[in-house]
């Protein structure tokens, strides 16, 4: 029934948002003289949303938005040393090691024996490629699609190119908005695996009534879910 399994990467296969969270905490510390943490976070999110249509997703755009926000809240007073520390924080994010989420390694190994696996991720092309290479599981995937946006069209194309079409395609990820809903709209299955830290921009209502929607607590529950679908 399912021939192709497409995985989101950040916060589905490996940790990502925790590095954003840590960096935002350092950022609040750096700007503590100029803005309260909750106001700063609000301004930063506004800058990220404002810049999304130019910068797209990823750490480089996030770093630029942090600098923009720092200037916005501190005005002419912002010391160059703070800007330098923001640049350093962005570089640290790009250098962080890739840590798989619990159970991911074994699950991918197991599913790769029975299904065609691909990665569909958005963000900085260069950074995503580096993370995939450093993940230790790159060889299990028959394809990697790094895209600027995840629309139903994206999934139609992925399901057609790598599998037998949308009916046999399944996408799993921690973003209802980008991973689950558009994959279902494309005619495939959408499996939601919630992550405690999901960027507010990625949140959406779960399509709980849809026959091709499922939710599981972790990637390690996917083999049993797929067996259940096939047995049905």
**By the criterion CB under 8 A, which residues form the site for a second copy?**
54-57, 60-61, 63-64, 67-68, 71, 74-81, 83-84, 87, 90-91, 94-95, 124-127, 129, 146-148
Question: Cα 225 to chain center, whole Å?
Answer: 22
The three-class DSSP label of residue 170 is strand
Rounded Cα–Cα distance for residues 138 and 117 (Å): 10
Residue 76 or 232 having the CB closest to a second copy: 76
Edge to edge, what strands does the sheet with 213-215 contain? Answer: 143-147, 116-122, 4-7, 169-173, 189-192, 213-215
CB of 157 to a second copy, least distance (A): 12
* Cβ nearer to a second copy, comparing 122 with 195: 122
Closest distance of CB 134 from a second copy, Å? 13
CB of 216 to a second copy, least distance (A): 30
Mapping DSSP onto H, E and C, the string for 83-94 reads HHHHHHHHHHHH
Residue with smaller CB distance to a second copy, 61 or 166: 61
Least distance from a second copy to the Cβ atom of residue 16, Å = 16
Residues 89 and 23: their CA atoms lie apart, in Å, by 7
Find the shortest distance in angstroms from Cβ 140 to a second copy.
19
Q: 34 vs 140, which CB is nearer to a second copy?
A: 34
| Cα separation of the two ends of the chain | 10
Q: Tell me whether residue 74 or residue 114 sits nearer to a second copy (CB atom).
A: 74
């Amino acid at each position: 029934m399912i021939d192709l399994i497409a995985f989101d990467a950040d916060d589905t296969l490996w940790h990502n948002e925790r590095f954003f969270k840590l960096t935002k905490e350092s950022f609040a510390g750096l700007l503590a003289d100029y803005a309260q943490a909750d106001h700063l976070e609000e301004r930063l999110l506004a800058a990220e949303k404002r810049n999304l249509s130019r910068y797209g997703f990823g750490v480089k755009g996030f770093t630029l938005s942090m600098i923009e926000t720092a200037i916005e809240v501190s005005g002419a007073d912002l010391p160059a040393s703070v800007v330098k520390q923001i640049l350093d924080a962005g570089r640290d994010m790009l250098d962080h090691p890739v840590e798989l989420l619990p159970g991911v390694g074994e699950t991918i190994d197991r599913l790769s024996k029975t299904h065609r696996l691909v990665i569909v991720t958005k963000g900085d092309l260069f950074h995503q490629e580096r993370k995939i290479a450093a993940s230790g599981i790159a060889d299990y995937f028959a394809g990697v699609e790094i895209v600027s946006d995840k629309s139903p069209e994206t999934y139609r194309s992925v399901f057609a190119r790598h599998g037998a079409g949308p009916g046999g395609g399944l996408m799993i990820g921690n973003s209802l908005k980008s991973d689950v809903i558009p994959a279902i709209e494309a005619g495939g299955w959408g499996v939601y695996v919630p992550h405690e830290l999901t960027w507010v921009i990625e949140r959406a209502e779960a399509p709980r009534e849809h026959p091709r929607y499922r939710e599981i607590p972790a990637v390690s529950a996917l083999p049993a879910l797929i067996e259940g679908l096939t047995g049905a």
